[in-house]
Amino acid sequence: MALLEIRGLKATVGDKEILKGIDLTVNAGEVHAVMGPNGSGKSTLAQVLAGNPAYEVTAGSVQYNGQDLLALAPEERAQQGVFLAFQYPVEIAGVSNAYFLRAAFNEIRKAHGEEEVDPLEFDDLVTEQLKLVDMDRSMLERSVNSGFSGGEKKRNEILQMAVLKPKLSILDETDSGLDIDALRVVSNGVNALKRKDNATIVVTHYQRLLNYIVPDFVHVLTGGRILKSGGKELALELEARGYEQGRSDRATAGAR
């Protein structure tokens, strides 16, 4: 059974339609890359799946792990294992990373009828995950993302992913603003967290991220629709030819 099945999804922001009929199936154990130019709808798709109320779904359906995802509130989606790594992670002054992570972890446990973990037990858990993203323990005592560099913010997103162990991770341009070293650390973390029972959607502009995170499928999203899907070679083709050429090819094929 598919972990995520999107059919005919349309969504608007204000009066503007951004998604114009998305079809996408993601099975457990898979990594899908969604590529496209600015304004194509990539981040809108990520926000809609996470339940951002600023985006209105006007048509279509989204089935997640056997449930109607669109019927769930954002916090319920998170409790059921949907995780969004933001393109621009927000700062939360006055709330330590350690407290934030433990609170989120325990909310998920409570939603599944499990007992909360105490601070000492959680400390052992999070310490092990810090190694995955090459972060110092001092980061746990700092306010969430406050004063963090771009690379530290993105590593912190992957740390959250490692601690919360979501079934569906959506990475919205996680490579944005990263240097090569930070990109490698973040990608290694994503790869290490891949399991047979989870899946990842990677939203990106550039093929370079896919040198480190190897996708099972690549999808080209342009003008609110997925125009083409393929393997990693499709990302290399886009790097060489660009999105405009891909649109031209499709228009030519449609005219035949």
pLDDT truncated to tens, each residue of the chain (256 aa)?
Answer: 699 999 999 999 998 999 999 999 999 999 999 999 888 999 999 999 999 999 999 999 999 999 999 999 999 999 999 999 988 888 999 999 999 999 999 999 999 999 999 999 999 999 989 988 889 999 999 999 999 988 889 889 999 999 999 999 999 988 877 888 888 888 988 999 999 999 999 998 878 888 899 899 999 999 999 999 999 899 888 878 877 654 545 443 333 2
Q: What is the pLDDT of residue 247?
A: 53
Q: In Å, how far are 95, 105, 115, 143, 238 from 42, measured between CA atoms?
A: 30, 28, 37, 29, 16
Domains and CATH numbers, the chain: 4-92+168-255 (3.40.50.300)
- CB neighbours (10 Å) of residue 230? 14
Task: Answer whether 101's CB lies under 8 Å from 141's CB.
Answer: no
Q: What is the pLDDT of residue 87?
A: 83
Q: What is the pLDDT of residue 209?
A: 86
Q: What is the pTM of this model?
A: 0.91
Q: What is the pLDDT of residue 75?
A: 96
Q: What is the pLDDT of residue 176?
A: 79
Tokens of 206: 């550039």
